Amino acid sequence: MKFNLDNLVLEYEELEKKMSDPEIFKDQKKMREVAGRKKSIDEAVNIYKEYKVLYEALEENKAMLYTEKDEEMRDMIKEEIFNAENAFPILEEKLKISLLPKDPNDDRNIIVEVRAWAWWDEASLFASELSKSYILFAEWEWFTVEVSEQSENETGWVKEVMFEIKWAWAYSRFKYESWVHRVQRIPETESKWRVHTSTITVAIMPEVDDVDIDLKDEDVEMNFTRSSWAGWQHVNKTDSAVQLKHIPTGIMVFCQDGRSQHKNREKARNILRSKLFTFEEEKRQKELWEARLAQVGSWDRSEKIRTYNFPQDRVTDHRIGQNFSWLPQIMMWKLWAIIDACAVADQQAKLEAAWKGNV
């Protein structure tokens, strides 16, 4: 396969010129667009340049083979030709993958929200376990994690927890976790050893700022209360907890992470912007839900994406139709096998779609 991507190289060079122009820093939105586009084609441009260099070297070696008389030199040239011809399919596959549409949110920090849903107590226990697994997995991959909000039931299990995961490519690693997760197991309180089914919801929201979402003060209703999180080791005598309500949409955010009212207010505004960003994305692309979240396969929003079956030691991702064993280790923090499998399936689906579009 021979690619002709010279126009992409020219575009890349033009983007480099724009980024070196000090004037672009006066328009943050424009700068982000240019930088994002440059980053999205960077890998493809570099692979294409490598491809062209290899192709030119191959043509030169083929020409030399016809004129070279020395047998030892001819053997060396033949070996170089052989190595180059074997390298082309690998480069071509890499190039095809690098040319797939990039999710513009992939390199953003994220806000993760885990909520207990059906079968309340068992769902709360599972929400506690899965959120801890996410946090441990994030820390294992060197992300920074900050818990913003947490509410618990009488047993100390999570009803709802929200935490931020920060560092490059956080969204790209966790975006396949969005929507309904189902757990099947025998609760400790079950006397007849019957398997119960409960569900929780997971939301993965890219972190955004004022450049992405214009959050007007007149659209936000703000209330202050005293922090009541059981994890605090001090008596809070000030109204530091912040509750924000976005009046046009009704979206609410509550933050009591710190003692400072100012810090809680800023964090709450960041979370609210992310929720509004996700809300707007859903509204704009309602009919393209799967594509928006880059979820793999084909599935209905009302259905679960994954089932955790403890009696059978099996996790099933229903979007890709794949099973994973060693469930206790997965619930500890070893999620990468599932996440990597979803990413590969997503990539393969995009390649097939691109191929069909070119046929």
pLDDT digits (tens, 9 = 90+) for 226-276: 665 444 344 444 567 888 899 988 888 888 766 678 888 888 888 888 888
Q: What is the pLDDT of residue 301?
A: 43
Cα 315 to Cα 301: distance, rounded to the nearest angstrom: 19
- Domain at 110-207+296-351: CATH code: 3.30.70.1660
Give 177's pLDDT tier (boundaries 50, 70, 90).
Answer: very high
Contact predicate 225/244, CB 8 Å = no
- Say if residue 279's pLDDT is above 90: no
Cα 146 to Cα 165: distance, rounded to the nearest angstrom: 7
* Percent of the chain topping pLDDT 90: 42
Closest CA to 227 of 147, 169, 301, 287: 147
Domains 110-207+296-351 and 217-283 are alike in CATH topology? no
Cα 174 to Cα 343: distance, rounded to the nearest angstrom: 10
Give 312's pLDDT tier (boundaries 50, 70, 90).
Answer: very high
Cα 215 to Cα 211: distance, rounded to the nearest angstrom: 10
- The rounded mean pLDDT for the chain is 83
Average pLDDT over residues 297-315: 77
Query: In the numeric block, which tokens belong to residue 263?
Result: 């810090």
Contact predicate 135/145, CB 8 Å = yes
Helices within 20-151 (DSSP H only): 28-67, 71-98, 120-140
Sign (positive or negative) of CA dihedral 184, 186, 188, 191:
positive
Sequence ranges of the domains in the chain: 6-98, 110-207+296-351, 217-283
Cα 306 to Cα 150: distance, rounded to the nearest angstrom: 24
Cα 32 to Cα 9: distance, rounded to the nearest angstrom: 20
Closest CA to 110 of 178, 180, 166, 32: 166
Only one residue has tokens 């979820």, namely 295
Cα 15 to Cα 33: distance, rounded to the nearest angstrom: 10
Give 347's pLDDT tier (boundaries 50, 70, 90).
Answer: confident
Tell me the pTM.
0.70
Only one residue has tokens 């599935």, namely 299
pLDDT digits (tens, 9 = 90+) for 77-104: 999 999 999 999 999 888 888 888 888 8
Give the chain's end-to-end CA distance (angstroms, integer). 15
Query: In the numeric block, which tokens belong to residue 221?
Result: 């209703």
Parallel, antiparallel, or unpaired: how do β-strands 110-116 and 158-166 relate? antiparallel
Sequence-ordered list of residues with C-beta below 8 angstroms from that of 244, at least 6 positions apart, any chain = 220, 221, 222, 252, 253, 254, 265, 268, 269, 272
Class of domain 217-283: alpha beta
The DSSP string of 2-27 is: ----HHHHHHHHHHHHHHT-GGGGG-
- Say if residue 118's pLDDT is above 80: no
- Say if residue 310's pLDDT is above 90: yes
